[in-house]
Amino acid sequence: MRLWHQSLLSILPKSQLLAQWRELNSIFVKEDRHILINYIYDYPKDDLLAYTQLVLHEMCARDINIRTLDKMERYFANGPFEKVTHPFVHHHNEEYFEICYFNLKEKFVRGQKDFDVERYEAITKMYEMEIGK
């Protein structure tokens, strides 16, 4: 279970983006505890809502059908929420970006079917720009 660095959402392979939505829905229903996501509970729900909106925006941009939003709506029913521009700011940092990059690199190297060369090159270019700051 992982929440990808927000900067990578627009170039994630489709399978990772779909898995991200499934993982978010699992959090909405069970408030899963997992070593890779426990940090989200140190933040207000505003951060998770902002992150979820980024995922939904990317899914819509790719014309990915979202069957239902009911789990998300129930989870965030106790709004209103503050606008957050950089969700999980202390965790989704340069180091976390690098961790996510190498996770994706391994998926590409191992031959993930929906991970083409153009997408990998875009991710690598973003990594070089992010780390080369």
pLDDT digits (tens, 9 = 90+) for 4-42: 999 999 999 999 999 999 999 999 999 888 999 999 999
Q: Return phi, psi of residue 70, to 5°.
A: -60, -40
Q: What is the pLDDT of residue 131?
A: 82
34: left (phi over 0), alpha (psi -120 to 50) or beta: beta
Q: What is the pLDDT of residue 32?
A: 84
pTM of structure: 0.93
